[in-house]
A = this chain, B = another copy of it.
Amino acid sequence: MAKEKKVEQITDMEVDFAQWYTDVCKKAELIDYSSIKGMFIYRPYGYAIWENIQKTLDSMFKATGHENVMMPMLIPESLLQKEKDHVEGFAPECAWVTYGGNDKLEERYCIRPTSETLFCEHFKTVIQSHRDLPKKYNQWCSVLRWEKTSRPFLRHREFLWQEGHTMHAAEEEAREETMQMLNIYADFMENVLAMPVVKGRKTDKEKFNGAEETYTVECMMHDRKALQAGTSHYFGDGFAKAFDITYTGKDNKLHHPHQTSWGVSTRMIGGIIMTHGDNNGLVLPPRIAPIQAMIIPVAQHKPGVIEAAEDLLNRLQAAGIRAKMDASEQSMGWKAAEYEMKGIPLRVEIGPKDMEKGQCCICRRDSREKVFVPLAELEETAVRLLDEVHDALYQRALANRESNTKVCQTLEEVKTFMEENGGFAKTMWCGDLDCELKMKEEAGVSSRCMPLVQEPVGDTCVCCGKPAKKMIYWGIAY
């Protein structure tokens, strides 16, 4: 009995981008809502994307000498309070545990919103000597932030992430670690997720609570809004002092170590959707797609078709490609639409006519372009096409960013650009918080970052007109 499933329509992104986004999240079966507002269920297809992200990033972390650990999920209130800026930033959005079984707790515990305090408490016990440094730890876990609003992948009360926490004897080494991890994130996003990034430093207003410096990778989405896709923080010895973490140096004296932390989350999946998706659904970058090629037999009741399709499946899998086959009784139209919705990079079809000609047909998800491929060239073509899809996605996203980034000299110019076009406004800035606040109030933009690669675009602050040395990006952010 054939299924009677229909591929459900999604809203066009030009009509309502936010609705299009939610439709894709639901209809590509990435995520579902739970009965608690803001807490989401990662469905198998969505979670498989995260597993692929984890696998690649984890190997990059390990290759640079990081070790995984697991800290408790609860933080005693007194521990959270040890660093003043940190607690001020996070306490208002903590979920608090007050009962264990039937007993009221003597002290309440929050579910970790981030784990600096837990790591610091542990560092205090495992760091005594300069020989115990560096400590380069990471953990994969979920964290909770009791947000008022929520959106799939972009803003959850509970989200999955990794948080790296490192301690170093020398300030210089900690600063290098901060930059190394920023570069790893940028490398991963560009070369695996096909998302071009702007690497830069956050303003003091936008930096992480308790950090000395925060670095970020900023991406532009299809709707020209900005997404902060990952951050890397340099802490100096502020937490080390607050937590009384010391080590005996080679000079036999006590010193405070220097600290970093860095993280990326399932928010990147939201970034993938909004960077690459189109009106037919999800478009997945091939290097993290759970299924890279879907084989579909055409006229599969004809003799030999299923076997020919299975042969393609086996060959692609043997070539290291994540391939699957759908020989169900759904119609060809349903299958095409379904696997477009799911964003599978390549659809490989083979039927009796193709078999006669010794070929198959490969359809690219990104361009919907079809090519007929001699069977002898299957593996090399598929590998090449996956790379070409990656490159095309990257180039399209880069073109989107470049054509929607504008150098502006005045607040008025920024305001007009944002109203009429949207994107990144590239300006000079004096560095004053007042100007940053005024930009938000009058042009509706927040500072995204001061790019590491500074190209002066003028001499004076876009807002106050005073002399300025910093080039900065502004935008409307998720």
Contacts and interface: CB of A to CB of B under 8 A. Distances in A.
A67 to B, nearest CB: 4
B44 A109 contact: no
Interface string A25-57: 000000010111001111110011011000000
Contacts of A41: 69-72, 118, 122
Contacts of A68: 44, 47-48, 51
A223 interface: no
Contacts of A97: 95-98, 111
Contact of A95 (B42, B50, B69, B99): B99
Interface stretch (A73-81, A168-176, A271-279, A316-324): A73-81
A328 to B, nearest CB: 10
A158 B74 contact: yes
B101 A92 contact: yes
A357 interface: no
Q: Considering the complex of A and B, which 6 residue pairs feature the smallest CB-CB distances, nearest first?
A: A44-B67, A39-B72, A100-B146, A96-B99, A42-B70, A101-B146
A381 interface: no
A250 B69 CA distance: 49
A357 B431 CA distance: 69
A80 to B, nearest CB: 11
Interface residues of A, number: 56
Nearest to A96: B99
Q: Does more than half of chain A's interface fall in helix, strand or loop, or is it mixed?
A: mixed
A47 B69 contact: yes
Contacts of A118: 34, 41
> How many identical chains are in the complex?
2
A353 interface: no
A61 to B, nearest CB: 12
Interface in A155-210: 157-158, 160
Nearest to A143: B73
B35 A121 contact: yes
Contact of A32 (B100, B111, B126): B126
A97 B105 CA distance: 11
A160 B141 CA distance: 11
A107 to B, nearest CB: 9
B35 A79 contact: yes
A98 B100 contact: no
A1 interface: yes
Contacts of A34: 71-72, 118, 121-122
A253 interface: no
Contact of A48 (B67, B79, B250): B67
Contacts of A1: 250
A3 interface: yes
A247 to B, nearest CB: 14
A451 to B, nearest CB: 34
Contacts of A367: none
Contacts of A382: none
Given A102-B92, A121-B35, A137 B76 contact: no
A404 interface: no
Interface in A228-255: 250
